Every structure is written in C-alpha cells, then in structure tokens.
Amino acid sequence: MKELERKLGYQFNNKALLINALTHSSYANENRDEGVPSNERLEFLGDSVLGFAAAKHLYAVEPAMPEGRMTRLRAELVCEQSLHGVAQDLGLGEYLRMGHGEERNGGRQRISILADAVEAVIAAIFLDGGIEPAERFVERMVLSPESVEAHHASDYKTELQELVQQRPDQLLRYIAAGESGPDHDKLFMSDVSLNGEVIGRGSGKTKKEAEQAAAREALRKLTK
C-alpha cells in the first residue's frame, strides 16, 4: 500500500479506509462471513466530494465562465472516462480486491469499476484527512491545467454563443478566411463576426479547429 500512497500523494492514518476503497462488491460478496464491506458507500460519498471540488476549482479559475458552461465542463472533467484515465495513471486496477469471477471477466480493466474506485479513494482521503487533502488530490489528478484546457478548448464556440446571447439581437457568424499548405497538411483559417464585425480569427488543422480557435480569441477580447 505504501507504493499506492506515494502515487496518491497522501499517507493514510487509517489504512482500513484505503483498503475499503479498494474492495469491489464481488470480493465483499465472496467474503460475507467475514463481514467485508465493499467500496460502494465510499463511491457514493466520493462522487459528491469530487463534484464539490471540481465546482469550487472552476469557480475560482474561470471567473468569466457562464454557469451553464461551468456545469458542462465540470461534467466532462468528472465523467467516467476521465476518472478511468486517472485510475490508469495510478495503476489502480492492480490494487483492487476483487472476486474470482469478476477478475476472470476482466474486472481489473473494466472502465466503470476503475472509475468507481477513484471516487471511493477520494472519499477515503476525505474521511481520513478532511476536505483539503481530498481537494489537493482532485486538483492534481483530475483538474490539472492540461486537463481543464483540453476540455475547455473543445467547446469555445458554445461558450461564446452563451456569452453573446446575454444581450438580445446578437448575431454570430463563422466565415472561412482561407487555407494554406499542401493537401496532406493544410492549415485552415476562420473568422468569427459579431453583428458583422470580426471579433476573432483562428487557425487549425481542420475547419472545426479553426472556428474553435477564432471563438477562443473572441472570448479573450470580450471578457478582458
């Protein structure tokens, strides 16, 4: 467990909490006589701690982001696929206590099981050390600047649309502004205009990427 604690960046005072977080229901079911608890209750708690930590973080680092976009971005950051990635980074599957049948069926690689285990670990850290170490873990493993930026960049167009819709009769339009390079390595340019005035220009390997880049530039101008 010391190696896992090193990966988590947290040393448990009560090791039983970490063991509980790593105990899948299949293991608990096979050891009912011992009264072994599964990590399902911790998973329930960890989901709430994770949601709170993500909401608090986004509120602090994205002061200009509308509520609707924050809600969507939080959902993307804490989704099952995202948590599965965290579990893979930690090598969490090898530490799980799992029933023989579930293990034979590939449970240690199952996305849902690994994502649930991450939530259970978050809850275990919270119960053992309080909200601060739990938040630090979430910020380091789930809400890294690279992760937030990757999700953020996927939908600048929606964020820009929400911003301009706060005033009536606003018209956004994306306009192809040219392309360059050979066919196998083209670079596309795009402008975005607001009520006929260009407010952002961007480029990208696809037209969609160019529009997202243009929307990002527009957001910077409108929110600074």
The catalytic site residues sit at 47, 119
Tokens of 197: 């005035």
Cα separations in angstroms, 192 against 153, 164, 205, 209: 16, 12, 17, 13
Residues 218 and 199: beta-carbon distance below 8 Å? yes
Which residues partner with 189 through β-bridges? 178, 203
Residues 177 and 201: beta-carbon distance below 8 Å? yes
Query: Beta-strand (E) ranges in 18-135?
Result: none
Residues 117 and 50: beta-carbon distance below 8 Å? no
Tokens of 6: 């090193």
Alpha carbon distance 110, 166 (integer Å):
43
